[in-house]
Amino acid sequence: DINRERVLRKKYFNTIEDLKGKIRVYCRLRPMTPAEQRVQHSVADVVDPYTLVINTPKGPKEFHFDRVFLPEDTQETVFEDTHTLVQSAFDGYNVCICAYGQTGSGKTHTIIGDDIQPGLATRTFERIFQLTEDHQAQFDVQVSCSMLELYNDKLIDLLRLADQTEVKLEIKKDKRGIVWVQGSRISPVTDANQLSDLFYRGLHSRHTGSTRMNDRSSRSHLIVSINIECTSRLHGTVIRGKVSLLDLAGSERFAKSGSSGDQLREASSINKSLSTLGDVISALASEQPHTPYRNSKLTMLMQDSLGGNAKTLLFVTASIAAFNLDETLTSLTYASRAKAVTNAAQRSADCREIARLKAIIQKLRRGEEDVED
């Protein structure tokens, strides 16, 4: 059975490996709060782990994803499917994990979480340094982090020290196509705690800046990049990869009647960057010859982490409560655009295969535990 598990595991990882360059879209449904439960009903039926039906007054609407996470699915479950992607960064891929959805749907919960239920960030940091240890014998591994906020089309360096003067940040691309931000701070880190501390310090400065408006975090994009550089101890060759985590601005339309001035500018900047991100992802998914990266700062910044040799995971977070129906439909439709028209079937077959293999591996494991018990 151990041999069988080995074979299955190899097949499982190969199937995941095959997903490179493609975009995976996961849907995560937020549980209703007790207050919502008292007065709202759920509009969502999860048919199977890939199919979600939203019941609208005009009838049911079906959506397909690479995975649908239920309201009761834990942070561990969500990370389980993601952590193999972190390994890819050690193999030289750029990995991009982003959360998209209306304010209050669970983006920050998914990416950051809290002390009791840490999200993808902390888990990713820990995984990176576990892998660093595993690689120690063969590689000298250097890890560094940068943390930016994009607000009103302006980049802000969240790792800049309080006494540092503000410098103009500019997005640059080197000969190898790697994007970097001139003037931003890239901090080297040597363990998961140090990276975590740095991350929380950056988050803190996102929330406390003097000109910051109340709840501004839902109207700006957070972009955390962890660079991983592995130098072979034997050959001196260097493998570079990175993991980027994005907590995007709320996707709801702010440009309601009555907004003007700053509010309108803010709204149009968010709408522009999110719609461009959608255009880029759908251009990649449908293999269009032109990808409109240059249409927004967000996509320019993420150019080396979307498409090409990158592995992208888009979490669309959504509320199941009836009063959010319109926003939920809009978010799910946006995310569906990211799914390739041509190879959706293939990918969902891949995902089914992954789920099947994983189930067998888990069964084998359980069998072994029984034997040991």
Place of tokens 């409560």: 321
Choose between 106 and 307: whose C-beta lies nearer to ligand ADP.
106
Please give the residue whose beta carbon sits closest to ligand ADP in the complex: 106
The nearest distance, CB 76 to ligand ADP, in angstroms, is: 12
Does the annotation place 108 within a ligand binding site?
Answer: yes
Strand partners, 311: 95
Strands 310-319 and 94-101: parallel
Print the binding letters for residues 78-117 with Mg ion: x by CB under 5 A, - otherwise.
-----------------------------xx---------
Q: Is 367 annotated as a binding residue?
A: no
> What is the Rg, in whole angstroms, of the alpha carbon atoms belonging to the chain?
21
- Most distant CA pair in the chain: distance in Å? 68
| Choice from 101, 241, 278, 307 touching ligand ADP (CB under 6 A) | 101
Half-sphere exposure of 102 (CA within 13 A, CB side): 20
Which residue has the CB atom at the shortest distance from Mg ion? Answer: 108
**CA dist., res. 36 & res. 266, Å (int):** 29
Q: Residue 85 is which amino acid?
A: L
Stretch that binds ligand ADP, among 83-91, 98-106, 327-335, 342-350 (CB under 6 A): 98-106
Strand-strand pairing, 94-101 and 154-157? unpaired
Q: How many Cα atoms are found within 13 Å in the side-chain-facing hemisphere of 266? A: 19
Which of 8, 11, 31, 231: binder of ligand ADP (CB under 6 A)? 31
Q: Any residues with CB less than 8 A from the CB of 156 and at least 6 apart, and which?
A: 148, 149, 150, 169, 209
Least gap, CB of 31 to ligand ADP (angstroms): 5
Give me 154's structure tokens. 């302006």
x/- site string to ligand ADP, residues 291 to 330, per CB under 6 A? --------------------------x-------------
Q: Which is nearer to ligand ADP, 31 or 49 (CB)?
A: 31
State the CB neighbour count (10 A cutoff) for residue 323: 13
Q: Is 32 in the site for ligand ADP (CB under 6 A)?
A: no
Is 101 annotated to bind a ligand? Reply is yes
**Distance between alpha carbon 62 and the CA centroid of its chain, in Å?**
23
Tokens of 175: 């000969």
- 239's CB contacts (< 8 A; 6+ apart) are 90, 91, 92, 139, 229, 230, 232
Q: Which is nearer to ligand ADP, 108 or 205 (CB)?
A: 108
Residues 209-248 that bind ligand ADP (CB under 6 A): 218
Q: Restricting to residues 328-357, which ones interact with ligand ADP according to CB under 6 A?
A: none
Q: Is 105 annotated as a binding residue?
A: yes
Give which of Mg ion, ligand ADP, none residue 94 binds (C-beta under 5 to 8 Å, depending on kind).
none
Residue 108 or 299 having the CB closest to Mg ion = 108
Residue numbers of the site for ligand ADP (CB under 6 A)? Answer: 30-31, 101, 103-109, 218, 250, 317
Residue numbers of the site for Mg ion (CB under 5 A)? Answer: 107-108
Annotated binding site for ATP: 101-108
